[in-house]
């Protein structure tokens, strides 16, 4: 199938013609930043565009599903492996490899063919899923999770890079909103799908399910040709020696970044759980991470524009503000999904499948608002109103969730979720559009990788903080509301097993302690949305509509 026969050719006035019109206001700004409408571009449409959208949505669903479905399967996994010692690493291995490789993925997309690089990351993700599915031991399962994390590191960035090459700038907000909103279905569907597969088939199908869907997405991509649009220079690739890749991909930067992140994330993972926060192990990891960060910054400064994380690019107000907005707003979304599930299962006593159903109002609201906000940006051209309005609504909705009690009415917990969901749907995609509207096409892949790195790192960091807030609050509240129950007994039982081990006479007090600890988390969640509101103003007032001569 030839994409050229089904694409839109857009030809606009060249830069030379613009330079001959000194009174043209469209030439104002940074001359180094070329908008895509200044050169002849081809975009996909019709069947080709539909195949790209379907493939990207399918992979987004799989990745979001994979991040959450494991929680439902863990009890069965530990039973099959006859071990609980590696449970903490089931999520950590995925997170460590994903965050570590995220910035490198941007360099790979800038250097190699976008479509085949994306397919390579999908294949890596699928390989990890296969290893998890056939695992015969806990260690083998952890290796599979690490491989899947490596694949996921380039999937989100690759999806946006492909969409950016396939869709005009002024229409991207709409499609980004659709893809992002559809991906959120995986978060809420995971308890439903995971619970059904684990109960009626086997937990291994929680990972096998990725294989046919991912294979179909790859087939769709192989049927089309994705435009490059200045992201790569195919004619030069064969002329560059393999040895030059070390410098071109900034391998040294990657080697410095990896231990920095690994030590920091391990300190967060172990602090307060495996080791107390004031132990030499945790403090040493934090100090080692900070020391390595200094060398990383020096190296990246020395590399300049060729760096894996170009510091000059980060200094741009729009890029920095967008990164910080995503850093806080994604944390808001992630923590809400985790602790809403804990609220419904732990406080209200609902099974995982019903917990997922009760979270649908927020997800559906986020999907609809993501689509409508993208449509609004496409029609009006400006993304700042959606970003500011969305972060305000997310803060209000999250704050209202802190009012939850064990007996909150259905109307309230549905309504509060809808407010927060509408806010996140409006705002989550806007930083991506803002950056693409302010960087040249050749920097899109690197900038998207940086934004997703900040998003995932923020999610990991704030999720760790939320866990500390919740566990500390629970430990302080249990002696007040349920003095006859030991804290270790409640925490070791877990959310789903709490009601089966706690005496009936003490259960009400434990539920109240759970509820109040969750309230403390939602105070923090509202704060992350408030911080996103502050930084969202830095996205700027610049239209995505095509400039006219």
What does the domain layout of the chain look like in residue ranges? 1-10+33-233, 250-307, 316-549
> Confidence class of residue 241 from pLDDT cuts 50, 70 and 90?
low
Supply the mean pLDDT for the chain: 81
Four-CA torsion 240, 244, 245, 251, nearest 10 degrees:
-170
The pTM score is 0.79
User: Which stretch of 183-192, 237-246, 402-411, 482-491 has the lowest confidence by average pLDDT?
Assistant: 237-246
Higher confidence at residue 320 or residue 98?
320
Give the N- to C-terminal CA distance of the chain in Å, as an integer. Answer: 35
Residues 370, 373: Cα–Cα separation, whole Å: 5
User: Which stretch of 23-27, 368-372, 472-476 has the lowest confidence by average pLDDT?
Assistant: 23-27
Same fold, 1-10+33-233 and 316-549: yes
C-alpha distances in Å from residue 281, one per residue of 252, 264, 268, 272, 335: 26, 12, 11, 11, 27
Count CB-CB contacts under 10 A for residue 518: 23
For the segment 347-351, the average pLDDT, to the nearest whole number, is 86
Residues 463, 436: Cα–Cα separation, whole Å: 28
Residues 527, 398: Cα–Cα separation, whole Å: 9
For the segment 480-486, the average pLDDT, to the nearest whole number, is 86
Residues 281, 275: Cα–Cα separation, whole Å: 7
Nearest CA among 445, 428, 435 for reference residue 544: 435
Look at residue 17 and tell me whether its pLDDT is greater than 70.
no
Q: Are 401 and 420 in contact (CB under 8 A)?
A: yes
For the segment 31-60, the average pLDDT, to the nearest whole number, is 71
Q: What SS3 state is found at 275?
A: strand
> Confidence class of residue 84 from pLDDT cuts 50, 70 and 90?
low
Q: What percent of the chain has pLDDT over 90?
A: 27
> Confidence class of residue 28 from pLDDT cuts 50, 70 and 90?
very low
For the segment 243-256, the average pLDDT, to the nearest whole number, is 76
- State residue 269's pLDDT score: 76
CATH number of 316-549: 1.20.1250.20
Give the CATH number of domain 1-10+33-233; options: 2.60.120.10, 1.20.1250.20, 1.10.10.10, 3.30.360.10: 1.20.1250.20
Q: Are 109 and 158 in contact (CB under 8 A)?
A: yes
Tokens of 211: 């294989």
DSSP H or E run through 419: helix 410-427
Q: What percent of the chain has pLDDT over 70?
A: 86
Nearest CA among 264, 256, 297 for reference residue 283: 264
Q: At what angle do helices 504-536 and 384-401 cross, to 10 degrees?
A: 160
Kindly provide the b/e burial profile for residues 337-366, where b requires at least 16 CB atoms within 10 angstroms of the residue's own CB: bbbbbbbbbbbbebebbbbbebbbbbbbbb
**DSSP notation for 351-416:** -HHHHHHHTHHHHHHHHHHHHHHHHHHHHH---HHHHHHHHHHHHHHHHHHTT--TT--HHHHHHH
Nearest CA among 451, 424, 153 for reference residue 316: 451
Look at residue 44 and tell me whether its pLDDT is greater than 80.
no
Tokens of 266: 């391990």
**DSSP notation for 188-254:** HHHHHHHHHHHHHS-TTHHHHTHHHHHHHHHHHHHTS----TTS--HHHHTTS-GGGHHHHTTHHHH
User: Which stretch of 59-63, 178-182, 239-243 has the lowest confidence by average pLDDT?
Assistant: 239-243
Label each residue of 503-528 as H, E or C.
CHHHHHHHHHHHHHHHHHHHHHHHHH
Q: Are 391 and 423 in contact (CB under 8 A)?
A: yes
Highest mean pLDDT among 18-27, 135-144, 413-422: 413-422
DSSP H or E run through 56: helix 46-81
CA 473 to chain centre: 27
Q: Name the burial class of residue 303, with classes exposed (0-12), middle (13-18) and buried (19+) by CB atoms within 10 angstroms of its CB.
A: middle
> Confidence class of residue 167 from pLDDT cuts 50, 70 and 90?
confident
**DSSP notation for 125-155:** HHHHHHHHHH--SHHHHHHHHHHHHHHHHHH
- State residue 41's pLDDT score: 61
List 43's β-bridge partners, or say none.
Answer: 8
Look at residue 392 and tell me whether its pLDDT is greater than 60.
yes
Label each residue of 281-340 as H, E or C.
HHHHHHHHHHHHHHHHHHHHHHHHHHCCCCHHHHCCHHHHHHHHHHHHHHHHHHHHHHHH
For the segment 110-116, the average pLDDT, to the nearest whole number, is 85
For the segment 355-373, the average pLDDT, to the nearest whole number, is 86
> Confidence class of residue 2 from pLDDT cuts 50, 70 and 90?
very low
Look at residue 535 and tell me whether its pLDDT is greater than 90.
yes
Look at residue 8 and tell me whether its pLDDT is greater than 70.
no
Higher confidence at residue 199 or residue 316?
316
- State residue 394's pLDDT score: 96
- State residue 516's pLDDT score: 94
> Confidence class of residue 291 from pLDDT cuts 50, 70 and 90?
very high
Higher confidence at residue 412 or residue 233?
412
- Rounded to a whole number of angstroms, the CA Rg of the chain reads 24
- State residue 87's pLDDT score: 64
CB-based contacts of 459: which residues, under 8 Å, 6+ apart?
Answer: 330, 331, 334
- State residue 88's pLDDT score: 62
- State residue 423's pLDDT score: 95
- State residue 123's pLDDT score: 94
Q: How long a stretch of residues is the chain?
A: 549
């Amino acid at each position: 199938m030839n994409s050229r026969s089904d694409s839109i050719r857009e030809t606009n006035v060249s830069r030379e013609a613009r330079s001959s019109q000194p009174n043209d206001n469209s030439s104002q700004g940074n001359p180094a930043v070329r908008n895509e409408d200044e050169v002849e571009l081809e975009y996909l449409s019709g069947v080709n565009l539909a195949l790209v959208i379907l493939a990207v949505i399918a992979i987004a669903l799989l990745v979001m599903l994979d991040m959450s479905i494991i929680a439902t399967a863990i009890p069965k996994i530990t039973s099959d492996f006859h071990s609980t010692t590696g449970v903490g690493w089931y999520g950590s291995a995925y997170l460590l490899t994903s965050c570590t490789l995220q910035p490198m993925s941007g360099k790979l997309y800038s250097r190699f063919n976008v479509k085949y690089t994306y397919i390579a990351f999908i294949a890596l993700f699928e390989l990890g899923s296969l290893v998890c599915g056939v695992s015969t031991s806990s260690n083998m399962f952890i290796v599979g999770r690490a491989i899947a994390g490596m694949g996921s590191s380039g999937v989100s960035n690759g999806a946006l890079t492909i969409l950016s090459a396939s869709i005009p700038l002024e229409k991207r907000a709409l499609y980004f909103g659709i893809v992002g909103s559809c991906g959120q279905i995986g978060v809420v569907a995971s308890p439903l799908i995971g619970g059904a597969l684990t109960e009626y088939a086997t937990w291994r199908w929680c990972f096998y399910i990725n294989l046919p869907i991912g294979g179909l997405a790859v087939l769709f991509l192989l049927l089309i040709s994705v435009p490059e649009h200045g992201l790569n220079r195919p004619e030069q690739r064969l002329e560059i020696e393999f040895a030059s890749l070390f410098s071109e991909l900034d391998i040294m930067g990657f080697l410095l970044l990896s231990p920095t992140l690994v030590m920091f994330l391990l300190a967060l993972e172990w602090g307060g759980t495996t080791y107390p926060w004031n132990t030499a192990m945790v403090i040493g990891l934090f100090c080692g991470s900070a020391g390595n960060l200094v060398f990383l910054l020096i190296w990246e400064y020395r590399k300049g524009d060729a760096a894996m994380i170009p510091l000059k690019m980060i200094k741009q107000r729009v890029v920095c503000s967008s990164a910080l907005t995503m850093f806080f707003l994604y944390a808001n979304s992630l923590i809400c999904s985790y602790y809403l599930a804990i609220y419904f299962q732990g406080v209200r006593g609902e099974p995982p499948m019903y917990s997922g159903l009760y979270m649908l109002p927020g997800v559906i609201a986020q999907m609809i608002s993501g689509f409508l906000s993208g449509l609004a940006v496409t029609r009006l051209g400006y993304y700042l109103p959606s970003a500011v309005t969305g972060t305000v609504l997310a803060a209000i909705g999250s704050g209202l969730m802190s009012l939850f009690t064990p007996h909150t009415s259905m109307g309230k917990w549905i309504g509060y979720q809808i407010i927060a969901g509408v806010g996140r749907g409006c705002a989550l995609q806007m930083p991506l559009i803002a950056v693409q509207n302010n960087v040249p096409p050749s920097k899109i892949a690197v900038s998207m990788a940086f934004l997703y790195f900040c998003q995932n790192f923020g999610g990991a960091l704030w999720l760790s903080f939320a866990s500390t807030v919740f566990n500390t609050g629970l430990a302080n509240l249990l002696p007040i509301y349920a003095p006859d129950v030991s804290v270790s007994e409640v925490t070791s039982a877990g959310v789903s097993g709490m009601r089966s081990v706690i005496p009936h006479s003490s259960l009400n007090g434990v539920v109240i302690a759970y509820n109040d600890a969750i309230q403390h988390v939602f105070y923090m969640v509202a704060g992350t949305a408030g911080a996103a509101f502050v930084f969202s103003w830095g996205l700027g007032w610049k239209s995505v509509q095509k400039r006219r001569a």
